[in-house]
Each structure stands twice: as C-alpha cells, then as structure tokens.
C-alpha cells in the first residue's frame, strides 16, 4: 500500500516532536504541537507548506497515477439488508 504524501502540519509535527517528547503523554504532545502550529507566523507556515509541496511532487514522480481511495466501511444497515432482503421476483399464481 502506498502511503499518502505528508502535509505541512505532519512535517512540522515530525520535526518538532523530537524536541518536546520528555515524559509527556501522546495527548499532551498533540495538544502542545497543535498550539505551536497555530501560534507560528505565516512565514513559518509557508515554509512548511513549500516543503510539503516538494514532498507531494516527489510522491507524484515516484508513484505516477496514484489516487487516494480510502476504503469505506460497510455499514451494518447495508449488511443486514443484503442478507435478509428477499428476492424481488414476481410470484406467479
């Protein structure tokens, strides 16, 4: 399975997470990184967006024709209907 290219926040998070992971829970790390991202200047965010764009181009070159197609879970309603629905053929008398 081909992974999706990372976006700007994911790249930012990977870079910054190494600096703040000192005996903190994952939830606290996520909250802190989200706040750091929100507080960044537009110039800094733009820098990470440019890096993400480069990664996206690299991904497109490495995997031409790639299209993200998430698997959709089959809801219980559809499963129940498909198993219990009688055929719709006319009854001849």
Each residue of 40-93: pLDDT tens digit?
999 999 999 999 999 999 999 999 999 998 888 887 666 555 555 555 666 666
- Sign of the torsion angle spanned by Cα atoms 22, 10, 16, 33: negative
Each residue of 56-69: pLDDT tens digit?
999 999 999 999 98
Helix (H) or strand (E) holding 78: helix 76-84
State the pLDDT at residue 50.
Answer: 98
User: Are the CB atoms for 15 and 40 separated by under 8 Å?
Assistant: no
Q: Does the model's pTM come out above 0.85?
A: no
């Amino acid at each position: 399975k081909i992974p999706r290219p990372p976006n700007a926040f994911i790249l930012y998070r990977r870079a910054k997470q190494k600096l703040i992971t000192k005996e903190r829970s994952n939830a606290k790390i996520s909250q802190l990184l989200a706040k750091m991202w929100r507080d960044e200047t537009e110039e800094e965010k733009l820098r990470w967006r440019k890096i993400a764009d480069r990664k996206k181009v690299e991904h497109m070159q490495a995997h031409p024709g790639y299209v993200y197609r998430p698997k959709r879970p089959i809801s219980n309603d559809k499963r129940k209907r498909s198993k219990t629905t009688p055929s719709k053929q006319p009854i001849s008398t």
